[in-house]
């Protein structure tokens, strides 16, 4: 995992967009974003994910495999993923193959880009503005973890500004400071 401020250039969203200004794991934690690296064997990594599921009461999971060959209307879909939004639940992703970028808003409303690759697990809190895209390899396979039934319902900005989960997040992030 590598995190840094997004450079806001007009290059393709799948490019690194590295501003050269790094963001530490501690700074991500202050935003409520959690990162874990699992670097064991596949079975060891899955055991670690299972332990996390027990600790955080994740009851369901599925896998998503995204590439131009596997996802109909690929270009349109990744643009949809890249639309700024929130969720009313945590977004938990364990990367199994490939790579992508999660962008999250910091307290000053600037984008922080987080590169995730195989072995990375990222927990994005409910209510944080974020977006996702693949990198230029155009492939990622990830396990999605859920506390209840699997759902992925984005609430786009600005409609989400007054959402209860957004307001709860804003209150919580001031406590993280």
pLDDT 10s per residue in the chain (177 long)? 999 999 999 999 999 999 999 999 999 999 999 999 999 999 999 999 999 999 999 999 999 999 999 999 999 999 999 999 999 999 999 999 999 999 999 999 999 999 999 999 999 999 999 999 999 999 999 999 998 877 778 999 999 999 999 999 999 987 554
Q: How far apart are CA 53 and CA 98, in angstroms?
A: 23
Q: What is the DSSP letter of 161?
A: G
CA atoms within 13 A on the CB side of 98: 19
By C-alpha distance, which of 168, 30, 165, 144 is closest to 94? 144
Instruction: State residue 175's pLDDT score.
Output: 59
pTM of the model: 0.94
The strand pairing partners of 85, in sequence order, are 130, 156
Locate 22 and state its tokens.
Answer: 């790094």
């Amino acid at each position: 995992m590598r995190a840094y401020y997004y450079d806001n250039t007009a290059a393709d969203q799948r490019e690194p967009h590295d501003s050269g200004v790094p963001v530490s794991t501690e700074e991500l934690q202050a935003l409520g974003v959690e990162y874990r690296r699992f670097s064991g064997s596949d079975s060891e990594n899955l055991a670690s994910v299972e332990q996390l599921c027990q600790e955080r009461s994740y009851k369901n999971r599925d896998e998503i495999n995204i590439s131009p060959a596997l996802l109909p209307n690929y270009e349109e879909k990744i643009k949809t993923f890249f639309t700024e939004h929130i969720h009313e639940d945590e977004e938990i992703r364990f990367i199994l193959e490939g790579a992508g970028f999660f962008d999250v808003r910091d307290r000053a409303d600037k984008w922080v880009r987080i590169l995730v690759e195989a072995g990375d697990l990222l927990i994005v809190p409910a209510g944080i503005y974020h977006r996702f895209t693949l990198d230029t390899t155009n492939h990622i396979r990830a396990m999605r973890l859920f506390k209840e039934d699997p759902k992925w319902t984005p609430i786009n900005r600005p409609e989400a500004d007054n959402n209860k989960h957004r307001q709860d997040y804003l209150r919580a992030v001031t406590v993280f400071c």
